[in-house]
Amino acid sequence: MALSCPPMAAFPTQTQTRSRFMHTSHIDIRAHFGLNALPFTREFPINKRFKHDPAEQALAALRHTVEHRMSGVLMAPAGSGKTVVLRALVDELPEARYRCTYVKVTSLGKRDFCRELSKVIGCRSAGQYNTLVRNIQEHVSASVTGDGIRPLFLIDEAHDMAPEVLAILRILTNFDMDSRLVLSVIVAGQPRLASTLKRPELAAVTGRMAHFATLRNFGRQELADYVRHRLTLAGARQPLFTDSAQDTLFELGGGNPRATDTLAFKALHIAAAKKASVVEANDLLEARAQVLP
């Protein structure tokens, strides 16, 4: 569908446009649309995620990587579902066999990153960098030989990590001169992570990554299926977006899951404020003008 509206990034900012629109945040869209939960939020049971090919393929490949005690990368644009895939991976791995550690504090220096890692895995977090690395290696190694549980580190938002911090992964995954594959690491981040991983000083880390997975945005039909899925999950019994509203949602959000969530959530509020029973294309255009670029 051709739109007179420019795509997301070119729209006016919230402060530029807010005054032209009614405030809708106080409106209870659950009561208005007869839902039992808020749709399009990040809080949903991970086993009820929307299962679409690119994400499920990435998930299967990363799971295979981890099951073979190797490490991998998940690289995709902001809001495209990386963290959802990581959550699904943790959910799918048998709890009795894997100890998963999720780390997101990636804007730290080498020593602070190791301290945070030590805290999450429960080993001594005091001392200098070399001591911390040794402690982590010993702790991880002991947990493997002791109870047979395999450790998995999930490092999210790794595009914010300094190259020298990413380089720690080489040391952390180096056990007994590489003769034993002990620790798996999944590094997830936005596409600029690629240029960091291509740096010569990170060749040893990048070379350890057995699989590089990516995600892509929804296509038009996938987006329609996603919208239906999220609304059904929230208890909707009939479609709440007209076909043309769905087309507009696709044009404005480009099929990016987070942009879709943000626009759809806002449009539901706008439609509810008008006491409408469904969201129309115009509600999406209004929504677009009210959300941040």
Q: Give the interface with ligand ATP as residue ranges (CB under 6 A).
A: 42, 49-50, 55, 76, 78-84, 157, 190, 257-258, 261
Q: Which residues contact 67 (CB under 8 A, 6 or more apart)?
A: none
Min dist. Cβ of residue 196 to Mg ion (A): 17
132 or 255: CB nearest ligand ATP: 255
Nearest one of 280, 183, 265, 187 to 227, comparing CA atoms:
265
Q: What does residue 72 show for φ and ψ, rounded to 5 degrees?
A: -155, 175
Stretch that binds Mg ion, among 24-32, 61-69, 80-88, 280-288 (CB under 5 A): 80-88
- When binding is defined by CB under 5 A, the residue of 17, 83, 190, 214 that contacts Mg ion is 83
Tokens of 170: 């080489």
Cα radius of gyration rounded to whole Å, the chain: 22
Among Mg ion, ligand ATP, none, partner that 258 touches (CB below 5 to 8 angstroms by kind)? ligand ATP
Min dist. Cβ of residue 293 to Mg ion (A): 19
Interface with Mg ion includes 190 (CB under 5 A)?
no
Among ligand ATP, Mg ion, none, partner that 42 touches (CB below 5 to 8 angstroms by kind)? ligand ATP
Among Mg ion, ligand ATP, none, partner that 283 touches (CB below 5 to 8 angstroms by kind)? none
17 or 83: CB nearest ligand ATP: 83
116 or 175: CB nearest Mg ion: 116
Stretch that binds Mg ion, among 31-39, 56-64, 74-82, 161-169 (CB under 5 A): 74-82
Residues 17 and 132: their CA atoms lie apart, in Å, by: 51
Min dist. Cβ of residue 78 to Mg ion (A): 8
Min dist. Cβ of residue 83 to Mg ion (A): 3
Q: Summarize as ranges the residues that interact with Mg ion (CB under 5 A).
A: 82-83
